[in-house]
Structure 1
Amino acid sequence: MRFKMASQLIKFIVLAIAVHYCSASAHRTPRQAGPGSIFTVGNGEQCLGSDRTTGGVCLSRNQCNTQGGKAIGFCGVFATCCSLNACDVRTNTKVAMFINPPLNKESSGLECSYNVEINNNNVCQMRIDFETFNLAPPTTVDPVENVTQRPGYTCRNDIFQITNLQANSEFFPALCGDNNGQHLYVRVNASTNSRSIRLNFKIADRNTQPNLPQATWKIKVTQLECFNTLGKYRDGILEAITSSLPSTPLTSTADRDEYLIAPPGCLQYYPDRSGAFESFNYNRGAGPYIANLAYATCFKRTPDVCGIKFTSASFEMAYRSDENLYLDTDCQINPVTQGAAQSEDYLFIPEAETADGLRGSKFCGGSASNQIIASTPPGPLYVHFNSDNLVTDDIPEAGYRFNYNVLNNCYLRVSNF
């Protein structure tokens, strides 16, 4: 009897591990993805078409047809590599890829929308990666004689906007221009009925504006799962069984997504210990950045991290006067004494100190140009960008690009970093 019970227990453990492993493999993110299996059945991961250059998403043929996609190859035996280059697509896959439809002068002047619905109730964020993003640049009005100030650069021709369909309380800026490699986060929450987002492109007519550049995009949307009490309770028996086994193939989707989950309030999030970030429409230093933006770019703070170092590759923002240091109150005016409209564009870096010993928090003009800046705040690691709706003639608004490295020793002087 004991032998029979032990045998049944072993079978149960093997079956539970197999089920858990299969579930984990079906939702593996690109970061953890191993070699593709020939038994892939359509898990929403990225794939290449038959030409080995065109990207798509691995889906069942039925899913591809339902979402208005086009089969461009195979992934495994049972799935197709699906190119979602049509408009008005609706999907709920773990990873979705949206590619612009063929655009020419005859087909421009269109509106293209993609609806992404949450994959399951554990999804708490969606990360939108702009693998390719080239739209018409932001513009301002033509200059008027004897008038030195104009409205800021905004998206007036091509416009990309994200809408959180059921919870429209969050503000997502309208974007345009060159944003290759950029990304942003959108919060969703099944418990508050925030279950989907819409990505919307409005493309200007090239017949009437033939000088505008061709619009192209390739957008990846990854649904990220957060831990929840119910899920942990449900998986408790599997955790007990597999607690002594290697965790890589047996962790839950939420375990693997945790690395990419952004802190609250962050439009952008960089979890790696080093990398680079830049303003929207940085455009290889040509800019200009977009008016009326206010958002936080955040970085991962692990227990061993005490701060972050920023190395300026380029920094060129608006300023009020040549007779200041372009720091703090030089960048933002007290409303009580503001008077005439003046520039209030700045990049906020908390508890910042440059290699030259200059201390401040708000940087504008060229104050961060060619600088190494250490930020050692007691709390989260982030920068905050603010742009107003004002352009002054002959004062460039090109934007910024920084390399960053998190620090695990903040007792050295910043000049030694």
Structure 2
Amino acid sequence: MAIVKFSTLLLLFTISQYCVADVLRTARQQGPASIFTLGNGEQCQGSDRSTGGVCLLRNQCNTQGGKAIGYCGVFGTCCSLNACDIRTNTKVAVFINPPLDKESSGLECSYNIEIANNNVCQMRIDFETFNLAPPTTVEPVENVTQRPGYMCKNDIFRVSNLHGNSESLPSLCGDNSGQHMYVRVNASINDRSVRMDFKLADRISQPNLPQATWKIKVTQLECFNTLGKYRDGILDAITAALPATPFTTTADRDEYLIAPPGCLQYYPDRAGFFESFNYNRGAGPYIANMAYATCFKRSSDVCGIKLTAASFNMAYHDDSNLYVDTDCKANPFVQGQPQSEDYIFIPEAQTADGLRGSKFCGNSAADAIIASTPPGPLYVYFHSDNLVTKDVPEAGYRFSYNVLNNCYVK
């Protein structure tokens, strides 16, 4: 009888906390925030309703080098991390460029994101705003048809896993607002922090370079652990309103965003857009020496994906055919010669007019509807070399996509 009474009281206490939390929760704080999650690291807005930050306790904000721009929850401070050399371990962190002018250019700015708990398996880095100097190559030389590819030489953004990530993460520059990337982490092997570095060129000696700006959201994503699988029913209702413990996890909320292994980018929605880095509204150019996979969610009812190019303009190896497969990659017997090997690989691809191929380059995907129906994961793979050919544009691509549950191209 005592156990029944205790359970009833505990359930009533839990329900009352939900009600109190709902009353105290502001419109900009919908979601997991409650009176128990003080400084929960979720996104918030400052008092001006336009500047974004993360919800932290005031001492957390000060410790991480942030600036209080408003309030959130009951005791939380909306904290803007618009400084350099910041260290944080919040689930969500938003980093904004410090005030920059010609006198402060030539800046090196670093952010260290430490793993919040052992359930964290990935970090998703969203470039809400990302404008750096574009990639560059050497000036054309008369009678020389080829030169090195477009590289990040003035402004450079790098992500590194401080404990030896085996995956190669590309350096970025140019216009990448709206893009994102994933970083894999593993706390069980002391893989406990990720570092983001900006290195900016001096604007005094190069006044024509654009001003650098960024706003980057980093979200720590949790995978299910053994205990997480048992959070259901009344235990879930009770623990969801309590402070974080080894029995509570946000893995159920994060599962939608968890990327398959080997994917630099991941789009879990059933429809959307994706584009090459520094697509720059079709002006490009894409960055040299890239090699990465962009992946899409494949649920049980999905048989493939439909891709429609809003723009597609890449270099090519040979123009004697239709800019597919062997036209996009040099034969191994002649690899010693400088020849373009830029392409996007789309497995088991077929266009609406019947063209089949896997590697697309030149303008082969322009104005085409492409269905990809592989037996395994849904992905495309982008490869760029370190070579620019005279009069051959390298603007890049932008696709719309829709996952298919009927794999007949219309």
TM-score (norm 2): 0.92
Query: Following the alignment from structure 2 to structure 1, what is the Cα–Cα distance between the partners of residues 362 and 241?
Result: 50
Which residue does the alignment assign to 1:9?
7
Matched, 1:266 2:266: no
Task: Give the Cα–Cα distance (whole angstroms) in 2 for the partners of residues 367 and 345 of structure 1.
Answer: 13
Q: CA deviation at 1:45?
A: 1.1
Q: Do structure 1's residue 284 and structure 2's residue 281 form an aligned pair?
A: yes
In terms of mean alpha carbon deviation, does 320-329 or 299-308 score higher?
Answer: 320-329
Q: Please state how far the C-alpha of 1:50 moved relative to its aligned partner.
A: 1.4
- Alignment match, 1:161: 158
Separation in 2 of the partners of 1:73 and 1:92?
20
Alignment map for 1:5-404 (pairs within 5 Å): 5-14=3-12, 33-34=30-31, 41-232=38-229, 236=230, 238-242=231-235, 252-404=249-401
User: Does structure 1 conserve the Cα–Cα contact (< 8 Å) formed by 2:53 and 2:78?
Assistant: yes
Structure 2 unmatched runs, 5+: 243-247
- 1:42-68: CA deviations, max 9, x gaps? 111111111111111111100000000
Relative distance call for 1:10 and 1:186 in structure 2 (3 A) is same
- Give the 3 Å change call, closer, same or farther, for CA 285–59 of structure 1 in structure 2: same
Deviation at 1:313, TM superposition (A): 0.2
Deviations 1:201-257 (A, max 9, x none): 00000000000000000000000000112443xxx3x525358x8999999410010
Say if 1:288 and 1:107 are closer, same or farther in 2 by CA, change over 3 A. Answer: same
* Paired residues of 2:228 and 2:249 also in contact (CA < 8 A): no
- Give the residue type in structure 2 aligned to 1:272: D
CA contact (8 A) 1:17 1:242 kept: no
Instruction: Tell me, in whole angstroms, the C-alpha distance in 2 between the residues paired with 1:17 and 1:161.
Output: 46
Question: Structure 1's 324 and 270: CA in aligned 2 closer, same or farther, altered over 3 A?
Answer: same
Q: Distance in 2 between matches of 1:249 and 1:282?
A: 44
In the alignment, residue 46 of structure 1 is paired with which amino acid?
Q
Q: Which runs of 5+ in 1 are unaligned?
A: none
Task: State whether residues 40 and 75 of structure 1, in contact with CA within 8 Å, keep that contact through their aligned partners in structure 2.
Answer: no
State the number of aligned residues: 401
Shift of 1:75: 1.4
User: Are the aligned partners of 1:39 and 1:76 in contact in 2 as well (CA < 8 Å)?
Assistant: no
Partners of 1:197 and 1:15 in 2: CA distance: 39
For the structure 1 residues 249 and 305, does the alpha-carbon distance in structure 2 shift closer, same or farther, using more than 3 Å as the test?
A: farther
SS of the aligned residue for 1:369 comes to coil
Distance 2:253 2:190 in 1: 25
1:119 and 1:292 map into 2 onto residues whose CA distance is 33
- CA distance in structure 2 between the partners assigned to 1:259 and 1:31 by the alignment: 22
State the percentage of identical aligned residues.
76
Summarize the Cα distance change of 1:35–1:335 in structure 2 as closer, same or farther, 3 Å threshold.
Answer: closer
User: Does the residue aligned with 2:316 lie in a helix, a strand or coil?
Assistant: coil
Contact 1:38 1:75 in 2 (8 A): no
1:326 partner SS: coil
Residue identity in the other structure for 2:122: Q
What is the distance in 2 between the residues matched to 1:221 and 1:60? 19
Q: How far is 1:38 from its partner? A: 7.6
Residues 15, 167 of structure 1: alpha-carbon distance in 2 compared, 3 angstrom cutoff: farther
Shift in Å, 1:262: 0.1
Deviation string 1:116-154 (CA, Å, 9 cap, x unpaired) is 001100000000000000000000011122111000000
- Residues 382 and 192 of structure 1: is their aligned pair in 2 closer, same or farther, counting only changes over 3 Å? same
Mark the CA change 1:201 to 1:122 in structure 2 (over 3 Å): closer, same or farther.
same
Q: Tell me, yes or no, if the aligned pair for 1:274 and 1:405 is still in contact at 8 Å.
A: yes
Task: Give the TM-score normalised by the residue count of structure 1.
Answer: 0.90
Alignment-derived partner of residue 405 in structure 1: 402
Distance in 1 (CA, whole Å) between partners of 2:125 and 2:257 is 12
Shift of 1:7: 1.1
Cα distance between partner residues in 1 of 2:240 and 2:86: 34
Deviation at 1:5, TM superposition (A): 3.2
Distance 1:400 1:349, change over 3 A: same
- Report deviation, 1:409: 1.0
